[in-house]
Amino acid sequence: MENRDYKHVIQDISQVYIGGKLTYNEMIDEDDVPYKLKTIFLHYMMNEVDGDTILENHIFFMKKSGTAYSTYKKLKTKFVLNVFYEDGHGKGKPGYKIREMEIDELLDDAYIMANMNTTFLTEVRISKLRMMSIAV
C-alpha cells in the first residue's frame, strides 16, 4: 500500500492546498489541481527540476536566482512546516512547532536550513487570485 501522508490536493473558494510530499509529476497527474496551476508548474518549476522531485526537496534546495523562487514569491505562497525545536512545547521538552512562512522567510531562516532533516513541509497554500495574476 502506498504511503499517502502529506500527499493531498484540496481546494476551497480562495486557495489550493497541496501536500508537501507530492512530486511535480504527481501534481500534474492529479485531477484536483487546477489547470492554471499545472501550467505554472510545467512552465516555471519543471524547467529547473525533474518531474520526480518532491516539492519539499525542491523548496529546501531552492536558489533565490531561479524562476521557481520568483514564481513562488509572486504567488505569495505559504509553506506550512513542522519544525523540530529542543524546547518545542515551551516547557523544556523537545517537540515540533507548526510554522507558516512565505518563500523569503523560509530560505532566510538559518535554523530551518541547518535542520532540514528534522523539518517537514506538510502543506503549500496557493491563492487562486494570485495564481490568476501569472501569465503563461
The arrangement of strands across the sheet holding 119-127 comes to: 9-11, 15-19, 119-127, 78-85, 95-101
pLDDT at 29: 94
Residue 89 pLDDT exceeds 80: no
Task: Domain ranges for the chain, please list them.
Answer: 9-79+100-106+122-130
pLDDT at 90: 67
* CB neighbourhood size of 14 (10 A): 10
Report the SS3 class of residue 6.
coil
pLDDT at 61: 92
Joined grid coordinates for residue 105:
522567510
pLDDT at 17: 97
Burial group, residue 76, by CB count within 10 angstroms (0-12, 13-18, 19+): middle
Joined grid coordinates for residue 29:
497527474
pLDDT at 1: 43
pLDDT band at 57; cut points 50, 70, 90: very high
Residue 53 pLDDT exceeds 90: yes
- Which residues, 6+ apart, have CB-to-CB distance to 119 below 8 Å? 60, 81, 82, 83, 84, 112
Could you give the CA distance from residue 62 to residue 44 in angstroms, rounded to a whole number? Answer: 13
* pTM, to two decimals: 0.90
DSSP summary character for residue 65: T
